[in-house]
Amino acid sequence: MAIIMDGNGRWAEQRGLPRGEGHRVGTTAAQEMVYGALEIGLRHLYSFSTENWKRDTDEVTAIFGAVQRELDEGPIRDLNVRQRWSGRPDKLLRRP
């Protein structure tokens, strides 16, 4: 199942906050999606599209950092949820 996380940065900007704050707040929605997926037995979620790579490097780094913090320190850390990469690994190191 694909989850397209969109609008977090705009949400923050509309409230006079930095875009990164929108991504941080968006992790709450992501947690709910993970819990829901586990509840219905869904094993894989896709959430970072090729369009996201067009964002500013600092923003992409902040998004990945937020995801990693959730997996390492957030409430879902004990649920055996892991981050996996699919697609073109070269894109992880060399962005357009």
Higher pLDDT, 9 or 50: 9
**Catalytic: 52?**
yes
Per-chain mean pLDDT for the chain: 79
Q: How confident is the model at residue 96 (pLDDT cuts 50, 70, 90)?
A: very low
- Checking if the pLDDT of 48 tops 80, the result is no
Q: How far is CA 83 from the centre of its chain?
A: 10
Q: Rounded to 5 degrees, what are φ and ψ at 94?
A: -125, 110
Q: Out of 8, 52, 58, 72, pick the active-site residue.
A: 52
